[in-house]
């Protein structure tokens, strides 16, 4: 059964129901056997097996992950598509036939779906090489969840695009909270800067009955936590989204002992570079000044993570037009950016392109990303595959003309 047809030069560029069915089956295979960042060996092997079965050439620049190359029979531009392949350290709570068999590891961010849809795109493009003017590089990227290092940066450093440099690059991400058949496309920032920090407060411990003989790091840490929340509310421009979150506090070992050390860890997220730098500076100043006031020592470690994911405005317009031509003007609603981090941003620092969202909600809201009950609505596959294909052809045509 033919699903969708792209008319190109009086030829039909089609994909079939069996392409969707095969993609869903592959996604369920990956879902049952998820692998953490940097450990995606079997996932990579499964991808290579499919590529080899369809005589699609590929190369590897890291231990995991793979890059497929589709050469059109006609000369033209080069573009790239990217799918992330790694899973998360989460124990799945869904009761489904394809539930994760790896306890403590789960595809809770949809990377199994991204990989499966992109493999379907590979196979369909291979089938229609005679209609392709140019070259398509498909990057199956490892370690997206491994912030602050990630997988995009190491792939770039290892020369993933040394042989063929793309003139544009695109990525698609399933998105709970967005209706099935809808897409999230934005010009400019769509995902935030994401940095992590660790603050270690060193005091002088002692007996709980004699606090006057100690320098209590618990009190110091408490004041630091309260004060750094004023960074967003009192220092950052209220029209420039930002958030600071404390996610972990460690200190003490008995209720009647004032500890020597308390450690806290958290994250800072923002959209603009100005707010990103301001938050780092204020975090350092506040931590040092409060600690000094109490006679404590402090060590502040800030790990710069993924930069904001910033879409090229012209290419965002192309993506929006491709979607709306297929699904109508309401298929790309006005949305706000997310402050979650995404290492596709590193590709976008080097090459113009677009990262966009694929809606999966139907009837009831989906569980959020990174939740132990998150699951992908597989009805989204036909929309995702369709737009990836149409975007590929449209982008090549745009560049070639």
Binding residues, as ranges, are 109, 111, 145, 173, 370
Q: Which helix (H) or strand (E) holds 247?
A: strand 242-251
Give the tokens for residue 23. Answer: 């993609």
Q: Is the dihedral of CA 398, 161, 133, 129 positive or negative?
A: negative
Contacts of residue 348, defined as CB under 8 A and 6 or more positions apart, other chains included, come to 169, 309, 310, 311, 312, 355
Answer whether 342's CB lies under 8 Å from 271's CB.
no
Q: Which residues are catalytic?
A: 306, 378
Going by the annotation, the residues of the binding site for Mn(2+) are 109, 111, 145, 173, 370
Tokens of 30: 């990956």
* CA neighbor of 387 nearest in space, from 319, 332, 331: 319
Residues 6+ apart with CB under 8 A from 68: 51, 56, 57, 58, 122, 137, 138, 140
**What distance, in Å, lies between the first and last C-alpha atoms of the chain?**
33
Contact 247, 267 (CB under 8 A): yes
CA atoms within 13 Å, Cβ hemisphere of 29: 15
| Exposure class string for 101-139: b at 16+ Cβ within 10 A, else e | eeeebbbbbbbbbbbbbbbbbbbbbbebeebbbbbbbbb
- Beta strand pairing status for 297-306 and 193-202? antiparallel
Sort residue 225 into left (φ over 0), alpha (ψ -120 to 50) or beta: alpha
- Neighbour tally for 21: CB within 10 Å: 13
Q: Are 265 and 247 in contact (CB under 8 A)?
A: yes
> What is d(CA 135, CA 167) in angstroms, rounded to the nearest whole number?
10
Q: How far is CA 142 from CA 59, 266, 293, 349, in A?
A: 14, 24, 45, 18
Encoded tokens for 290: 């409060």
Alpha carbons 22 and 312: distance in angstroms, whole number: 33
Tokens of 265: 């860890």
Cα–Cα distance between 276 and 307 in angstroms, integer? 9
């Amino acid at each position: 059964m033919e699903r969708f047809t792209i008319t190109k030069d009086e030829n039909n560029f089609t994909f079939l129901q069996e392409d969707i069915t095969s993609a869903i089956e592959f996604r369920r295979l990956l879902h049952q056997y998820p692998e953490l960042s940097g450990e995606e060996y079997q996932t990579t092997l499964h991808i290579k097996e499919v590529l080899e079965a369809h005589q699609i050439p590929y190369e590897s620049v890291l231990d995991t992950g793979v890059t497929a190359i589709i050469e059109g029979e006609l000369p033209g531009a080069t573009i790239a598509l990217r799918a992330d392949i790694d899973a998360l350290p989460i124990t799945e709570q869904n009761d489904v036939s394809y539930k994760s068999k790896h306890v403590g590891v789960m595809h809770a961010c949809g990377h199994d779906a991204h990989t499966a849809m992109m493999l379907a795109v590979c196979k369909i493009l291979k089938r229609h090489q005679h209609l392709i003017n140019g070259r398509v590089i498909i990057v199956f990227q490892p370690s997206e969840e491994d912030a602050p290092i990630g997988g995009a940066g190491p792939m770039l450093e290892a020369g993933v695009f040394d042989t063929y440099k793309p003139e544009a690059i695109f990525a698609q991400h399933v998105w709970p909270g967005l209706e099935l058949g809808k897409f999230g496309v934005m010009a400019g920032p769509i995902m935030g800067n994401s940095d992590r920090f660790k603050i270690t407060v060193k005091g002088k411990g002692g007996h709980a009955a004699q606090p006057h003989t100690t320098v209590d790091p618990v009190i110091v840490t408490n004041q630091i936590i309260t004060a750094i929340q004023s960074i967003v509310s009192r220092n950052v421009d209220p029209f420039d989204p930002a958030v600071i979150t404390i996610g972990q506090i460690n200190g003490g070992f008995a209720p009647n002992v004032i500890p020597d050390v308390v450690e806290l860890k958290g994250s800072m997220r923002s959209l603009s570079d100005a707010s990103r730098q301001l938050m780092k500076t204020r975090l350092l100043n506040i931590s040092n000044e409060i600690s000094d006031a109490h006679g404590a020592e402090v060590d502040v470690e800030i790990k710069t993570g993924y930069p904001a994911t910033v879409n090229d405005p012209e290419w965002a317009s192309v993506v929006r037009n491709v979607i709306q031509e297929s699904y109508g003007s309401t298929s790309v609603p006005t949305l706000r950016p997310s402050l979650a981090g995404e290492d596709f941003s590193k590709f976008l620092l080097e090459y113009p392109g677009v990262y966009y969202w694929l809606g999966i909600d139907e009837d009831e809201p989906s569980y959020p990303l990174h939740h132990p009950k998150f699951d992908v609505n597989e009805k989204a596959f036909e929309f995702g595959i369709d737009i990836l294909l149409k975007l590929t052809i449209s982008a090549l045509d745009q560049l070639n003309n």
